[in-house]
Structure formats: structure tokens, C-alpha cells
Structure 1
Amino acid sequence: MDWIGLTIFAALMQAVRTAGQKQLTSSLSAIASTWARYGFGLPLALIYFLIVWQQRTDPFPDLSLRFSVYVSLAAGAQLLATLLLVKVLSLRNFSVGTTYAKTEGILAALLGTALFGALLHPLAWLAIGLGIAGVLLVSVSRAKVGLRAIIDGRTACYGLMAGAGFALTALWVRAASLELSTDPLFSAALILLLSILLQGSVCSLLVHRQNPDNWRRLAGNVKVCAFVGLTGTLGSIGWYSAFALQEAAIVKSLGQVEFIFTLLLTYFFFKERISRQEWIGILLVMASVILLLWAV
């Protein structure tokens, strides 16, 4: 499976995981809900790494200091971004906040150019812009809110900071993968396992420090927590593997198809009608995907 299939799979898993994460925010704190993503995802990440490792014949690669720094930065950025996104889901205008978070594609392109000198084809920049426009159109239509909600300072701040965190995560994961100079799938599996170990450890301390009773509440929501952990880790396997194979901004931009999956889920499972404005947004995202694949 190449980076295109991995990205589409990751976007689908992310759409499903977000639905479960939203359900958790009604009964758990932001940090406890975030812990579910890593605590319940660790076993799957470990099993996946062992499977990939057993298929290798090359010796275990040397882990440089730069690799360790990139992994630590990526893990920290993703943890912070996840916390912010969970916080956004608890706000009244969470649809608007998650839309701001979806600027991660353009943020990854801008930050990648500024920090790593990544060069993108002009068509790729156009594709990223079209994808963002489509996502904005769909989100504003579904949110059914006024201009005041769209420019709400707290919602915009949390959403944009989450988007920047996810963008930096993608860039640092790719940088860490390139440092290993080994099989991309193995490097992605290793980076994912190390990241979840770091994130789970930090989250565990924060959960206990906030309120020891959080563990009882997590146990009371074990089914939803396991669902979030499973789908979240499956999505991360797709994302990290795709980052190892392709520029982060390109992967994140193709990942905007998550919005199409979300709309299809609401249409087929919740019988909600798709409006004309949402159809236009879908067409813009599809046009973005076509241009993106043409550019690369």
C-alpha cells in the first residue's frame, strides 16, 4: 500500500475516532479523554511494531540524538494538539473549532517551507488552498452559526493551535523517519511506538495529578475508550507510514478527504441531508485531491 492508500485509510480512521472522542468529552476531562487515545492504543502499536520488525532481515538501526529529539518533539506536539482538539470538542462551537484545526494542511506547507526548506509544486499549493476552502465551506454550513461564532477568539485560538501542533507533528515524524535511512514502514512503526510510550507516560502523570478518580471514570467508559484507542492507533499507523513516504504537507492535504467520510457517515448512518453548500465543499475537496495527485 503506497502513501495514497495509507493516507485515505488514516483519514477514515480519524473520522471514526473523532466521533468516539466526542462521546468521551461528555463524561471525561480533556486529559483523561486524551489518555484513552494513548493508553488503549499502546498494545496495538506494540503488536504492529513487532510484526513489522519480525519481517526485517537488516540489523536494528542506530538511533541518533537528532532522531531522538525529532521523536520527542513530534510526541509532545501531537499530545498538546490532541489535548487542544479534545478541548475544542467540549466547546459550544466545536464544529468551528475543528475547522480551524483542519488548517493543518496549509500550516504544514508553510512550516515545512520555513523550517525544513520543503519545496512544493505550484499546483500543490493551489490544491492545498482548494482543500482548505472546501473544508471551511462544509464546516461553516454544518455548524449553522453566525460570524460571531466563527471569529470567537477562544475557539479560533484552540483550533489554530491544534492545527499547528498536528502540522509540526507531521513534519517532525517525517524528519525522524528520514534520519533512520531504513525501511519507511519500519521507521514509522518504531516512531509510533516510541511516541505513544512517551505520550502515555506523560498523560498518566497528568491524569493522576488532576484527579485520581479519573481512573475510575476511564474504567466506566472502557468500551468507548478502547474504540478510541484502537481507531486512533490505526489512523496513526496510516499517517506515520505516509509521512515516511511523502512530504507532510502533501499527506495532510490529501487527508482532507476525512471531511467527505464524515459527511457520508452522517448521510448513511444518521440520515442527515447533505446541503448544496456541502456538495460544493465536497467538490472543492475532490478537485484538491485531483490537483494534488497531478502535482506529485
Structure 2
Amino acid sequence: MIWVAATLIAATAQTVRNAAQAGLTRDVGTGGATAVRFVFGFPFAALAFVAASVWMPLPSPDLRVIGWASLGAVAQIAATAFMLLTMRDRGFGIATALMKTEPVTLALIGAVILAEPLGPARLGAIILATLGVVLASGASWSRAAWGPLASGVLAGALFGLSSIGFRGALLALPDGGYVLRAVTVLTITLGLQAAIMLAWLALGDRAALRGIVSQWRISLGAGALGAFASLFWFIGFALTPASNVRTLALVEVVMAQIVSGRVFRQTVRPVQLIGMALIMAGVGWLLVVAAG
């Protein structure tokens, strides 16, 4: 069950990275803060790649690997754009809940594209945990317009598609252990995303580009955390279907609610407690199914 440990490490590192990126948003804007995870994460991935190559031969990526990695890279950038659009229109609570529908779409896409077995038990666990996220978000759905709802679900689907691309690239590598394959695909993916975001900022938002350079210390920290989190996401993807990884990662919602209550003294409503219980039940069910 190495994928379980890898997923929990990735979710924790991602939470810290998100906090670092949030601090940058005020100074460099949304586009600049989004670019940080890719532009400043790539050097750390490349360094890990070079270090690994000193000790052992790395797998050689072919066009299939590049194709899958490109799919994941572009889908992740597009998903981020739709996520930010949803947050702008409907706020953080609804946007977060809609993003977390990703495991459901991910399981369906994986069954179609990668022919990964779904099964009623696994699908039931994923749906149960996802329903828990919707309730635990505490979002007010009565005033949610169809446009933002559609963009939020689309963002979740695109995040799911990006995970499929990353897992496809990992499976397409001809040899190497799960760590070596994760390092290789991570380096390719972040290299593509860094190039895309640098070109985007150079053409359309040079102020943000100058901003992330001027804030290079914080940007480096966020980039390092992002690369570290992505490495462990990829290790998880190399060992089990991506929907298993992303469903287990929903425990992050429970941890965030606990921190909000204890640290920030925010009130948790009964329906949110029910949602957290459903998340834990769904995740537990998934782990039982995955253990066979």
C-alpha cells in the first residue's frame, strides 16, 4: 500500500504549497501565482532527474510518453483556468466542492481510455466520498447559477483528464521502477508546463512575469513544494488507478475543516459533520476494495 503513503504525503505538501501560492496572488496576480508551481517547480524536477541518472539508468521516453504527458500538462493548465473562473463567479466553497467531483469523472474516463476496471464497489466508494465533499463544503447551492456550476464540473473533469494523462505516461514507459518513472514523467510534464506558462506571461502579462521574478524567494519555496507534491502524486499514479489516489486525497477536506475549527474557531454545521463522516466512510471503503 505504498500508494496510500505517497498520496497522504502529496496532499500534505500540496496544502502547504497552496498557502504559499495564496500569498503570492496579492502581489503577482492569479496568472503569476499559477505559473509559479510550474516555472519554479521545473528546476527541482530537473535536479531530481539528473541526480537519479547518476545512480541508475532512467527509462527512455518515446512519443507515446510525450503524448500522454502533453495531454496531462495542457489539461491541468486548462482545469486551473476554469477553477479560477468558478471561484471568481461563485466563491471558494462552491468551487472547491465542484473541483472535488474529479474522482467520479476520473474513474469514468480511466475506464474508457485506459480500460481500468471500475466495478460497482469501487464506483460506490468514490461517489460516497465525493458526496461527502459536497456536504462538507458548507456551500450555499440555492443561489448557484448554471454557468459557474458547468465551469466547475468542467474543471473537475479536466483535472481528472490530466491525471489520466499522467498515469498514461507512467504506464507507457518501457522500464524502470515506480520512483524512476515518476521522476521522468514529472520532469517532462513540468518542462512542458513551464514553457507554456512562460510564453503566456511573456505575451500577455509581463507585469506578472516581473512580479514572480522579484518574489523569487517565495516563488522558489512554492515551486519546490509543488514539485515535491507532484512527485508523490506521480508515485501514487504509477502504483494504482488515478481515481484511487484522488479519492484518498479527499481526506484533505476533513483535515482543512478540523484546522478551521480549532485554529480559526470557525463553526462547523451538522451537515458538514455528516459530509466529513461520508468522506471517511468512502475512503475507508475504497481502501478495503483496493486491498482486494
Distance 1:137 1:265, change over 3 A: same
What secondary structure is seen at the aligned counterpart in 1 of 2:28? coil
CA distance in 2, matches of 1:119, 1:246: 11
| Structure 1 segments unaligned to the other structure (5+ residues) | none
CA distance in 2, matches of 1:185, 1:92: 39
Distance 1:233 1:254, change over 3 A: same
Alignment RMSD (CA, Å): 2.1
Match of 1:294 in 2: 288
1:182-204 deviation per Cα after TM superposition (whole angstroms, max 9, x unaligned): 21111111111111111011100
**Letter in structure 2 aligned against 1:103:** T
1:63-114 deviation per Cα after TM superposition (whole angstroms, max 9, x unaligned): 2221111111111111222233334444452221121111110011011112
Match of 2:265 in 1: 271
Match of 2:146 in 1: 153
Deviation beyond 6 Å, 4+ runs, structure 1: none
Are the equivalent residues in 2 in contact too, given 1:256–1:285 (CA < 8 A)? yes
What secondary structure is seen at the aligned counterpart in 2 of 1:119? coil
Are the equivalent residues in 1 in contact too, given 2:236–2:245 (CA < 8 A)? yes
CA distance in 2, matches of 1:15, 1:25: 16
TM superposition score normalised by structure 1: 0.89
CA distance in 1, matches of 2:71, 2:141: 37
Q: Note the 1:1-296 alignment, pairs <5 A.
A: 2-56=2-56, 59-139=57-137, 141=138, 143=139, 145-149=140-144, 152-180=145-173, 181-296=175-290
| Structure 2 segments unaligned to the other structure (5+ residues) | none
TM superposition score normalised by structure 2: 0.90
Work out the percentage of aligned pairs sharing the same amino acid: 30
What secondary structure is seen at the aligned counterpart in 2 of 1:213? helix
1:14 offset after TM fit, Å? 2.3
1:165 offset after TM fit, Å? 1.6
Are the equivalent residues in 2 in contact too, given 1:15–1:259 (CA < 8 A)? no
1:224 offset after TM fit, Å? 4.3
CA distance in 1, matches of 2:216, 2:146: 34
Are the equivalent residues in 2 in contact too, given 1:15–1:261 (CA < 8 A)? no
Q: How many residues align?
A: 289
1:147 offset after TM fit, Å? 0.8
Are the equivalent residues in 1 in contact too, given 2:52–2:58 (CA < 8 A)? no
CA distance in 2, matches of 1:129, 1:190: 32
**Letter in structure 1 aligned against 2:79:** A
